[in-house]
Amino acid sequence: MRADAVVLDPPRSGAAGCIPALLRLAPPRIVYVACDPTTLARDLAGLRTRYQIDAVQPIDMFPHTYHVEIVVRASLV
């Protein structure tokens, strides 16, 4: 059975350890929920050979703080 999509919501340290497995699994869509823009950028760079970013949406879940959640939808190319 193949996954239609994978949803990632990693800790602040990111999902670097999952990137090779995601590239092998190659789900048609990935939704990545990030709390750290730096690790999000690093992880998306690891996916760029097989995925394109379709949408990016920042969400202010913690008003009056610098924290922001970022949701990214990416598709297999």
Residues present in the chain in total: 77
pLDDT in tens, 16-75: 999 999 999 999 999 999 999 999 999 999 999 999 999 999 999 999 998 999 999 999
pLDDT at residue 5, as a whole number: 97
10 alpha-carbon distance from chain centroid: 9
Catalytic amino acids?
35
Residue matched to tokens 């690790």: 39
pTM (2 d.p.): 0.92
DSSP code per residue over 16-61: GGGHHHHHHH--SEEEEEES-HHHHHHHHHHHTTTEEEEEEEEE--
